[in-house]
A = this chain, B = another copy of it.
Amino acid sequence: MLAARCRRAYLGAMGTHHHPINDTAALKDAARTQLIDRGEQWTEMRATVFEALATFDSPASAYDIAEEVSRRRGKRVAANSVYRILDLFVGANLARRVESANAYVANEHPGCLHDCIFLICDQCGKATHIDDDRLTAEVRDVASKAGFKAARPVIEVRGRCGECER
């Protein structure tokens, strides 16, 4: 199962590591399990939002997602409903917010709680996700040395991805 696998990776090494790539179905299932474990419900609506989110290949705005969910459900779903669910997902580590894009991505390894690093291409808009616990620990450390209690590091690198750079 995804979460266990990730935990192993997380505990095993403090350096950069990778997560297996998952198809949407497995990812969705992992998300469902994760949410239920937290005592939350896995409803049709939430499932649809998660699926919609997971099928975008770039960070998607809440409005993008609302549109996709509306399409899938065959009826208009308002943005604020989507926001509620996205907030829930972010809180449960099923999704992440990309601050510099006002957009969201599915967490490829639900339940893992790394601080994460996003590389966002200004050309094609795609975001890739890196885990580097040593580096994020350093960011927290620098904050801490400044007398600041870090709750949530936001590390997002804007630039050009390999594809677009070529």
Contact = CB atoms under 8 A, between A and B. Distances in A.
Interface in A115-166: 117, 119, 121-122, 128, 130, 132, 135, 138-140, 142-143, 146-162, 165
Contacts of A55: none
Contact of A148 (B149, B155, B162): B162
Interface residues of A, number: 34
A100 interface: yes
Majority-rule SS of A interface residues? strand
A16 interface: yes
Contact of A142 (B16, B161, B162): B16
A119 B99 contact: no
Interface of A: 16, 99-100, 117, 119, 121-122, 128, 130, 132, 135, 138-140, 142-143, 146-162, 165
- 10 closest Cβ contacts across the A-B interface? A147-B162, A151-B159, A149-B160, A99-B100, A154-B156, A119-B148, A152-B158, A150-B159, A143-B157, A149-B159
